[in-house]
């Protein structure tokens, strides 16, 4: 069955995510130094990360809604230290703005432009990046994010929902992502083709998920065209 659409992961597939998160956390921390100074006096960025890691276990929603998790953490520490908890919304706006200041891999826009002339395009992501703010939404017919959908990859429901939104069978859809389990294997489990984008040329045999067999391994999005 021929491929009619390609779905993409976002973080570490269309842009490197670690620099983005570090920048967003620093931007938030600098904002808090001015607007909620008691938090900065009590917690370092690393301590807030550990606090967030503990909080994720307290509510099933936090497993897929990373926005809600960060907001809950801010509300908790603001309340704990006598800061105005209503400032949590402002703080999250600061974080989200910085979170959307991504640096795209150089192949992204040319590849999406070329692929969009041939097949439908969409995204499925566990993060809460705003594709409109980033300037990529024009390329995609469908974009599902875990925090708004209600479950996260590798849950098969989010993959099936993306295929349904495209009005296609999973066998007609290719999924491209950097994570062997949450992207490649999970997509294959619902009948999609799973393509591993291995930008850093890691050895599959050295991976803890070496049992996963991608339908293709690529180092650039330009290579997707060759499989269509």
d(CA 180, CA 90): 36
Of 29, 161, 173, 165, the closest CA to residue 91 belongs to 29
151 and 157 Cβ atoms separated by less than 8 Å: yes
**CATH number for domain 18-99, candidates 3.40.640.10, 2.30.30.190, 3.30.70.240, 1.20.120.1600:** 1.20.120.1600
**At residue 62, what are phi and psi to the nearest 5 degrees?**
-70, -15
| 144 three-state secondary structure | strand
- State residue 228's pLDDT score: 83
**Closest C-alpha among 119, 117, 116, 145 to residue 131:** 145
Give pLDDT, residue 211.
Answer: 84
> 57-107, pLDDT tens digit by residue?
999 999 999 999 999 999 999 999 999 999 999 999 999 999 999 999 999
Predicted structure pTM score: 0.93
Please, are residues 119 and 175 in contact by the beta-carbon 8 Å criterion? Answer: no
pLDDT of 206 over the 70 cut: no
Strand 173-177, strand 216-218: pairing: unpaired
Whether domain 5-15+102-227 has CATH 3.40.50.1820: the reply is no
Region for residue 150 given its phi and psi (left: phi exceeds 0; alpha: psi -120 to 50; beta: otherwise) = left
């Amino acid at each position: 069955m021929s491929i009619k659409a390609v779905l993409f992961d976002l973080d570490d597939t269309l842009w490197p995510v670690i620099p983005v998160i570090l920048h967003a956390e620093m931007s938030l921390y600098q904002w808090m130094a001015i607007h909620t100074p008691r938090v900065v006096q009590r917690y370092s960025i690393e301590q807030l990360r550990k606090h967030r890691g503990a909080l994720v276990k307290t509510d099933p929603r936090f497993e897929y809604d990373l926005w809600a998790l960060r907001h809950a953490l801010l509300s908790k520490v603001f309340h704990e230290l006598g800061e105005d908890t209503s400032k949590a919304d402002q703080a999250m706006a600061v974080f989200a703005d910085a979170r959307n200041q991504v640096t795209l891999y150089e192949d992204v826009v040319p590849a999406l432009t070329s692929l969009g002339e041939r097949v439908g395009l969409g995204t499925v992501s566990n993060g809460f990046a705003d594709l409109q703010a980033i300037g990529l939404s024009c390329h995609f017919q469908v974009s599902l994010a875990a925090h708004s959908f209600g479950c996260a990859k590798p849950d098969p429901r989010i993959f099936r929902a993306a295929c349904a939104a495209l009005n296609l069978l999973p066998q007609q859809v290719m999924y491209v992502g950097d994570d062997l389990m949450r992207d490649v294997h999970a997509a294959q489990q619902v009948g999609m083709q799973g393509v591993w984008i291995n930008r850093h040329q890691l050895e599959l045999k050295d991976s803890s998920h070496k049992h996963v067999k991608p339908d293709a391994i690529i180092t650039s999005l330009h290579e997707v065209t060759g499989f269509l």
